[in-house]
Amino acid sequence: MTRLNEAAVAARRAVARLLPAGPREWISAIWAEAYEVPPGVARLAWRAGGAWVLAREVLPPARLGRAALFAVAAGAAAWVAWPQPGVGHAAVSQFHVIATVLVLAGLPVLARRFFGPATPGRAGRFLRVLSCAAILALMPAFAIVEAFANLTPEQPAYQRIACPNRGFGCGAVPGKSTGGPAWAGEIPLMLMTIAYLGVILFLTSRRSRVTRGTLAIGAGTGLLFSVVMYAVAPLGLTNDATDPWLPGSTVDPLVALAWVLLFGGPAVAAVLAVWRGRAPGGAALPRSVRMGQGFAAGVLATGIAALFTTALGTGTIALMLRSPWLLRWLNHGHQLTAIAVYHYETTASSGANVYLFMLIWFPVIGLLMSGLGVLCAPLGRPALAELPPADVSSSGAT
């Protein structure tokens, strides 16, 4: 019980540190007064009242509504993603669900504390909501795909299809799934989720000084790129899986456009952001800030593309695994044998790994290409305010 009390006190102090000064004082006052209330239900009710005051005073009605919406969406996603009985790596999968929800709920609060509120205007908020939705949608989709990809089929004919696709053979018990990744894979995945959300929260915060125009350029390029990438790789990048949709040819015009957007998109976004770099009042921004706008636009372009392509692609594969109509529709209504269906499903679920590759490398490419874009961008002459003060002693003025 003492440990429970200590944990409660520590949790209260941690929450109190995140609050603005005014509400923090009032919440501390209610908490301190609880020691005067007789222990038991009365004290619990007093503290519950304090929690209500906290919600009411710190969260305005609009924010309370958004928090309720997030709670419902997170609850539904967690319910789908929660590992089924008998699936291996259950503890890892449970950690993935809990940690993802905590990251989505807690990181925006921390970001507000350390980076300040969101950039004024709709672009930043829109980008934040879309990114959180993508990460949340990815959670159940990833769980469904991983559970299927690691399921060892019972029949030998199916095993002959499944096992070579995985590249490491079928060592598990037939009819059982080893579930998602082990801890060695889960921790980097969670760090990547934190990095993605953290960077997006920073770039859409006031402290980053990224303008609305830069956000619109970066996010617009990223969304366009993600639509093209999704059309190219709706079921991963394996030709077998995309065969009903696309011929899988490397010279397909859409594939060519995807390559152009991968390397050209961030560079063009960076040039545009630098060229357009102006403060809300219309004044030109300093050179260093404009260069920062260029890098931000480029990283956003590829980061958003990777995140949304992954969410859409993994979501489509998960939907196909759960809804046979989708596979029939992808095959233009043709009747497929059970083994052909299994072939498509297992190829697509194995091909989902390519999205992880995108999540890691696209932002790196974006950073490099935006650097190139910034170098080529018309930065112009430095403004007077940026120039170092003139050295009067050496100017020759007498």
CB 353 to other proteins: min, Å? 50
Residues that bind other proteins (CB under 8 A): 25-26, 28-33, 35-37, 45-50, 52-53, 56-57
Q: How far is the CB of 54 from other proteins (least distance, A)?
A: 10
Tokens representing 335 are 């009747």
Least distance (Å) from other proteins to the CB of residue 284?
42
Tracing tokens 């030998």 back to the chain, one arrives at 156
Provide the residue type at 120 as one letter: P
| Interhelix angle 287-322/122-149, nearest 10 degrees | 40
Q: Least distance in Å: CB of 4 to other proteins?
A: 18
- Residue among 26 and 342 whose Cβ is closer to other proteins: 26
Angle in degrees, 0-180, between the axes of helices 156-166 and 338-351, rounded to the nearest 10: 20
**CA end-to-end distance (rounded Å), the chain:** 81
Distance of CA 145 to the CA centre of its chain: 18
Provide the strand spans (E) within the chain.
none
Q: Name the residue nearer to other proteins (CB basis): 56 or 207.
A: 56
Q: How far is CA 171 from CA 25, 70, 79, 176, 344, in A?
A: 59, 40, 29, 11, 21
Cβ closer to other proteins: 36 or 391? 36
Q: 49 or 120: whose CB is closer to other proteins?
A: 49
Comparing CB distances to other proteins, the nearer of 47 and 328 is 47
Of 20, 21, 5, 150, nearest to 86 (Cα)?
A: 150
Q: How far is the CB of 20 from other proteins (least distance, A)?
A: 13
Instruction: Select 2 or 395, whichever has its Cβ closest to other proteins.
Output: 2
Nearest to 203 by CA among 264, 269, 139, 260: 269
Quickly count: other Cβ atoms within 10 Å of residue 335's Cβ.
7
| In the complex, least distance from residue 240 CB atom to other proteins, rounded to whole angstroms | 60
Beta strands in 97-164 (DSSP E): none
Are 261 and 224 in contact by the 8 Å Cβ rule? The answer is: yes
Query: Toward other proteins, which CB reaches closer, 31 or 362?
Result: 31
In whole angstroms, the minimum distance from the beta carbon of 291 to other proteins comes to: 44
Residue in 27, 79, 24, 75 with CA at minimum distance from that of residue 50: 27
